[in-house]
Structure 1
Amino acid sequence: MANGSLDHWLRSLTGDMEILTWAKRFNIAVGSARGLAFLHHGFIPHIIHRDIKASNILLDEDFIPKVADFGLARLISACETHVSTDLAGTFGYIPPEYGQSWRATTKGDVYSFGVILLELVTGKEPTGLEFKDVEGGNLVGWVCYKIKKGQAVDVLDPTVVDGDSKPVMLQTLKVAASCVSENPANRPTMLHVLKLLKGIKHEYL
Structure 2
Amino acid sequence: MSLLNDLQNEAVKRNLLEPGTEVDAATAFRLVRDMPYMRASDRQPETHIREWRGTCSGKHYLLKALFAELGLPAHIVAGTVELQLDPRTFTPELRDILQRTNGRFVDVHNYLLVDTPKGQMVVDATWPLPTRKYGLVANEEFVLGQNQLIGYPTSQTWLVPDDVDPQAFKDKLLHEHFTPEELAVRDEFIETFSQLLADVAA
- With the length of structure 2 as denominator, give the TM-score of the two structures: 0.32
Q: Provide the TM-score with structure 1 as the length reference.
A: 0.31
